[in-house]
Amino acid sequence: MKPIETRYKGYRFRSRLEARWAVFFDALGIKWEYEFQGYEFSNGVRYLPDFYLPTFNGGMHCEVKPDDGDFTKAYLFCEESGQSIWFCEGTPKFRIYKYLVLMNTPSAFGKDGKPLGPYVKEPYDFYGIPNFSCARGEDRMFYDPEDFSIYIEDNDYIQAVTAACSAQFEF
C-alpha cells in the first residue's frame, strides 16, 4: 500500500504515520525538525532520517516505520555517523521502543592490543521514550533492574499518545 501524504503545521509529511509522530512530539513539548538533513553512506546509498530532535537527549534522529518496518538504513546511519537514532515503530503508544547509540568502547581488540574501533550497541529497550527527563526537565523514569528497561508513568505521556492517535489531518 502507498502511504497517504498528510499535512500538519504547514509541513507535508510523506505519511500519516510521520504526522502522528509530529503530533506526539508537540504534545510533549519536544522540538522537532522534519527531514532536517540527508546523508550519503560510504557505499553511496543515501539516507534521510524522518526527524531530528535538536534539544532532546543531546540531539537525536528518529526513523519512522510501520510495525515490523525495516530499520537497516538507521543501523548504518548510527554506525557511520556516530549519532544516536530512535526507532519510531508504528503509531505512538505504550510499548517497547528501541534506539541505537554508537559506543566508544570497542567490542574487539587486534593482535597488537589496540582497539579495532567503536561499535554499534544493540538497540536499547525503553518503554515510552528515551531519557524523557531530558526533554521535560523532570525525572519521571523508573528503571527495572532485571532487564534495564525504562518505564514512564506520566499523564503528559498518556495525553501525547492519545493526541497522536486521535489527530485529524488534511490531505
Mean pLDDT of the chain: 75
DSSP of the chain: -PPPPEEETTEEESSHHHHHHHHHHHHHT---EET---EE-TTS-EE--SEEETTSTTSEEEEEE-TT---HHHHHHHHHH---EEEEESSS-SSEEEEE-EESS-S-B-TTS-B---EEPPPEEEESSTTHHHHHSS--EEE-TTT--EEE--HHHHHHHHHHHH---B-
Report pLDDT digits (tens) over 61-100.
Answer: 999 999 889 988 988 888 888 888 888 889 988 766 777 7
> What global pTM score does this model have?
0.75
